Amino acid sequence: MTHELKELIETGVIWQKKGLKSVLATVVSLNGSSYRRPGVRMLLGEHNKWIGAVSGGCVEKEVYLQAQSVFETGKPKLMNYDGRFRLGCEGIIYILLEPLYISEECYEAFQKIVNNRFTFTCNSYFKIDDEIGIGSVLHLENKSFNITSSVDSSTISNSECFSQEFSPIFQLYIFGAEHDAVQLCKMATQIGWQVHIVAPPDEAKSLDYFEGAKSLLTPTYDNIDATELDKNTAVVLMTHSFNKDIQYLMALKDIEFAYFGLLGPSHRRERLFSKFLEYYPETDIKFFENINGPMGINIGAESASEISLSILAEILSVVRNQKPIFLKDKAGHIHA
């Protein structure tokens, strides 16, 4: 969610500087089921453009039509969309529409929070029974910012609140620079992750080779900067070199990740672990248990793109604590 909000705010600021009005649409409540849950957003511009989505495509045109009155009046509103009369949806979603205004101070504080990988909160206020939209407030460290100029603080106490906490943007560190790393980088970027490529200093490739990557790092094994690696980070080793993998494995041994994956068959994994134990014989067994190797979900993947898909699916399942199954075999709601 954080990467989506970041894109919306950055786009809103660009439109704002061009003198264009924009309306932020936020799903704040749901009765029944829908394509996506509350917290999803889209940004609509008065120049007949929008980015983001609040559904799979069946709601967006109606949202744009409803937003026209917000463009005209400059006041928030609450709309609802009854998906029970449409194919594929079985619920009513409530969407807060508000004129977006990001002050310079707010934008600077937001960028600082995101870049420093801090958690923040956004509260959206509304009244379903009265069909009233009030507006949203960003809470960034010790400061709060209205992201619409028309938030009436006197009405907040009597309203409903959808509060959403935003974690740091998920990171993927790919240790390796071969063709399959390029495919994994591209796919991970498409789902909103920040991707960093780590390669040996003698690697003759540039950042441009890795579509969507945020950085290409080439530290020596004993100079890897672990300060940016945290619990919202996935790490995969895919250098296609046994010696390089063992060096990286030793360099990363004391860091806790959301996911740690290893490319290659199980017998190669066992060789790596055996060599690792020659250097660090007292290593806790949990270190090895937390490494996913061979990484990926068994979907019959053959090509580099298919293998990347299986790796990303496994990372998501681990991070979100979900056991991969066919959705047709899952009891209850999809998002439960």
Q: Which residues contact 172 (CB under 8 A, 6 or more apart)?
A: 184, 185, 188, 193, 194, 195, 196, 233, 234, 235, 236, 315
pLDDT of residue 35: 62
- Total domains, the chain: 2
Does 277 reside within a domain?
Answer: yes
Do 287 and 152 lie in one domain? The reply is: no
Q: What is residue 39's predicted lDDT score, i.e. its pLDDT?
A: 85
Task: Looking at the structure, tell me whether residues 159 and 179 fall in a common domain.
Answer: no
Nearest alpha-carbon partner for 41 in 144, 145, 146, 162: 162
Same domain, 7 and 46: yes
What pLDDT was estimated at residue 287?
A: 93
Given this model, what pLDDT does residue 151 score? Answer: 67
Is 285 contained in some domain? Answer: yes
* CATH classification of the domain holding 226: 3.40.50.720
Residue 253 CB neighbours (<10 A): 12
133/29 Cα distance (integer angstroms): 12
> What is the reported pLDDT for 325?
81
* pLDDT for res 318: 95
Q: Which residues of the chain have pLDDT under 70?
A: 32-36, 56-57, 83-90, 149-154, 332-336
Tell me, yes or no, whether 202 and 284 share the same domain.
yes
Asked if residue 56 is part of any domain, the answer here is: yes
What are the tens digits of pLDDT across the range 236-265? Answer: 999 999 999 999 999 999 888 999 999 999
pTM of the model: 0.86
Residues 286, 221 within the same domain: yes
* Same domain, yes or no: 210 and 102: no
Domain presence at residue 189: yes
Q: What is the pLDDT of residue 86?
A: 56
How far, in Å, CA of 56 to CA of 72, rounded?
27
Domain boundary among 166, 189, 206: 166
Range of the domain at 162: 2-166
Three-state SS at 269? helix
